Structure 1
Amino acid sequence: MNILISKQSIRVSSALVVTGLLTLASSLAFSQPIAPDGATEAPAAQAAPQLPSLASPEDSQADSGAAGSEDSQAADDNAYDIQEGLQAFEEQDYEGALANFTDGAMKGHALAQFNLALMYHNGIGTEADYERAMQLYALAAQQGMTSAQFNLALMYDRGEGVERDFDEAYYWYMQAAEQGDASGQYAIGTMNFYGQGRPTDYEEAIRWYQEAARQGHRDAQYNLGVMHLSGMGTEEDPVVALTWFTMAADNGSADAQYNAALMYAAGSGTEQDLDKAVGYLERAGEQGLRDAQTRLGMLYVSTNTADFPRDYEKGRHWFNESAHQGDPLGQFYLGRIYAEGLGVEQSDKIGHMWYEIAMRFGHEAGREYMLDLRSRMTSTEVEEAEVMALRWMIAYAVRNPGELQLRQETQDGRPQGAPQDNGQGSGAPQPGNAPGNNGDNPQGQPQLPSPVIDQPRTAS
């Protein structure tokens, strides 16, 4: 089983915080339903970055560690008023906000120290200065402010303003975690899982994931599903795994929705329920998870029962969605839809186009089907199809710079250096079909990616 990681992000206030997203993702898979040799619109633009939400006195009531600091601030309101800084920031008077927070920070106010650190960290109203941000986070963290403890840990975690230090990161995550901070608890669980700052300890990872999961942390819930499904630190238990996946899915995790769907489709940990499987797949697909989109397409074109009749139109829709996100399997099946006229007007040219694209993205069966289709096409039709494929790939490369590496063909149409197709689909392993995975059982070991992102994010 592949375990994927999404990324952690800086929190920006004690109440409005960004949860760390070091997500362990499991990619389950089931058999491809169309052919034994088998095998969307462009991705939505990313939302514009938002300014961070600063910590306010009201936030400190939700940040258990800042309560004592706030008491001292309340007793000294005449000397310092943080509201002036917050208002200046809201009005984008960053010079005024910096002056106010600097005054408060020098007087020992944790909220002012935190907000000033945030401005230096993000380079708002001043040049970004990680060392200064770290110093200010440390001052607030030492007063028990959990958001400052978390952000300080994160800077050690990813080496901002200091050499990367998992030991220090672990210490400060733990300070936040022990005060009940869900993101800190999640980070501690993840560091135990990967052996960062200490030896790998799956049981300890489970303990801290459970603490965070009880507070509704969906990535902790998801990770618990992965660990119970795989028997990491606990007995393999698909029933418990499905429970955690379902909780995370209902909290909006697309990966959990995908895994829950596949478990319902296979009857793993529950009775088989195709309606629930499709429901969860559609939720994941609507969030843009391309594996879910491809699996939906497979279900709609391959299943034909009284309760679930075949629907080529829906199948084509979901293959189109995943194909435009660069999924070779979706591209291959979209080619078959057009080449065989399944619910659409038959078109050798469009079929050839998608077979070629799938081949260029690493799907060996795409080459074989393309060459077979080419045998009944005129040279003009082949040239037109190749131009269509080239135009699509150029547009994709523009949308996704640096992602597409086209494979070169020899004169016989075989890609150079292409792996041999094993008859199960793409020669290159795809998400949801790990190397050695026959589509029934999760296999493989987790990979260790970087646990952070380059820029902080904010939460609504």
Structure 2
Amino acid sequence: MSTWVKRIGAVALFGLAASLPVAPIRALEGAESAAVQDKAIVSPAFKTPRAALQAGLEDFRSGASDSAVAALKYAAAGGETLAQWKLATIYAAGQGVPHDDLKAYEYFSQIIEGFDEDNPNWRDRSIVSNAFVSIATYSLNGIAQSKVKPDPARALALFKYAAANFGDATAQYSLARMYLDGAGGDKDSRQGVRWLYLAADKGHVQAQALLGQMLFTGDEGLRPQRARALMWLTLAREAALDSAKDQWIIDAYEKSLAAATETERQTALTYLEDHLKRRN
């Protein structure tokens, strides 16, 4: 069992220590793991799992999906973290294979089960972080017609681990939303706003937009800061795509801009310039 499963340590945020609950990865009852299945169906056509990984990535880039998946499965069964992650994302997106969230869940699970908190391989940092976030998201929503049922408490713990230990902006934003909504535990607006600030400062577009909305109207007990809010909304609007997914960001920006005074708009521009200088 990996170290992180045994314990999730306490972390400090803005000087406050928050104890993180343990959230072990529970295996799917009655289901074979992807690794077991792969070992049974993939012939050892490669000298090493690393060679299989390289061949799989090259085949995938060239569009040879079948041979790419076969090679990646062999590499994943041999413990190659990148192969496990690539297969997880392939199945999650249905790239060259039928869409299969359960298989994606199994491959993401392999990554976090193999993560050694006491002796981490930091070359895999972004991959491991993404796996934690992905498993947390599956735990939050569940997977239809599978044994993976919604488990908000587990999702909260996993998001918290990725947010605190990896500084993952998506985890920080998701954790903020759960605290603000009271999902997986008690509602905690103070913690929610703090995680939201962290995600927004890292450039997370949805976090910037939500923080801007809250600061403009004074939601969740915040003191209204309309110029600061407009700065965050402007950053989010500039990064948003004109699609249905981001329409709420565009609407929030336009509504706040229309309601702001000229002084608030000019102050927002000053804040924006200072923010961009600090980021650069």
**TM-score grouping bracket, smaller chain normalisation:** 0.5 to 0.7
Query: Is residue 189–residue 207 contact of structure 1 (8 Å, CA) maintained in 2?
Result: yes
Query: Is residue 200–residue 207 contact of structure 2 (8 Å, CA) maintained in 1?
Result: yes
The equivalent position to 1:259 in structure 2, one of 112, 120, 134, is 134
For 1:218 and 1:281, the matched residues in 2 are separated by: 20
Distance 1:349 1:183, change over 3 A: same
For 1:386 and 1:234, the matched residues in 2 are separated by: 47
2:169 alignment partner in structure 1:
290
For 1:317 and 1:282, the matched residues in 2 are separated by: 13
The equivalent position to 2:235 in structure 1, one of 357, 376, 384, is 357
Q: Which moved more, 1:354-363 or 1:211-220?
A: 354-363
1:317 alignment partner in structure 2:
194
For 1:322 and 1:247, the matched residues in 2 are separated by: 27
2:270 alignment partner in structure 1:
387
Query: When you count helix as a share of all residues, which structure comes out higher?
Result: 2
Report deviation, 1:240: 2.3
The equivalent position to 1:299 in structure 2, one of 178, 187, 192, is 178
SS of residue in 2 equivalent to 1:216: coil
Report deviation, 1:272: 0.6
Query: Is residue 323–residue 331 contact of structure 1 (8 Å, CA) maintained in 2?
Result: yes
Q: Deviations over 1:306-330 (max 9, x none)?
A: x523222222222212211222221
1:185 alignment partner in structure 2:
52
Query: Is residue 216–residue 256 contact of structure 2 (8 Å, CA) maintained in 1?
Result: no
Question: How do 1:97-176 and structure 2 match up within 5 A?
Answer: none
Query: Is residue 355–residue 369 contact of structure 1 (8 Å, CA) maintained in 2?
Result: no
Residue 369, structure 1, aligned to residue 255, structure 2: yes
Query: Is residue 300–residue 315 contact of structure 1 (8 Å, CA) maintained in 2?
Result: yes
Query: Is residue 185–residue 211 contact of structure 1 (8 Å, CA) maintained in 2?
Result: yes
Of structures 1 and 2, the larger Rg is shown by: 1
1:205 alignment partner in structure 2:
68
What percent identity do the matched residue pairs reach? Answer: 21
1:274 alignment partner in structure 2:
152
Query: Is residue 356–residue 370 contact of structure 1 (8 Å, CA) maintained in 2?
Result: no
Total equivalences in the alignment:
213
Distance 1:329 1:314, change over 3 A: same
For 1:352 and 1:234, the matched residues in 2 are separated by: 43
Residue 238, structure 1, aligned to residue 116, structure 2: no
Query: Is residue 352–residue 385 contact of structure 1 (8 Å, CA) maintained in 2?
Result: yes
Query: Is residue 227–residue 234 contact of structure 1 (8 Å, CA) maintained in 2?
Result: yes
Report deviation, 1:278: 2.1
The root-mean-square deviation of aligned C-alpha atoms, in Å, is 2.7
Report deviation, 1:372: 4.0
For 1:228 and 1:357, the matched residues in 2 are separated by: 33
With the length of structure 1 as denominator, give the TM-score of the two structures: 0.42
The equivalent position to 1:345 in structure 2, one of 185, 199, 223, is 223
Report deviation, 1:273: 0.8
Report deviation, 1:189: 1.0
For 1:392 and 1:187, the matched residues in 2 are separated by: 41
Query: Is residue 337–residue 343 contact of structure 1 (8 Å, CA) maintained in 2?
Result: no
2:212 alignment partner in structure 1:
335
Distance 1:382 1:239, change over 3 A: closer
Distance 1:236 1:335, change over 3 A: closer
Query: Is residue 230–residue 253 contact of structure 2 (8 Å, CA) maintained in 1?
Result: no
Distance 1:189 1:309, change over 3 A: same
With the length of structure 2 as denominator, give the TM-score of the two structures: 0.66
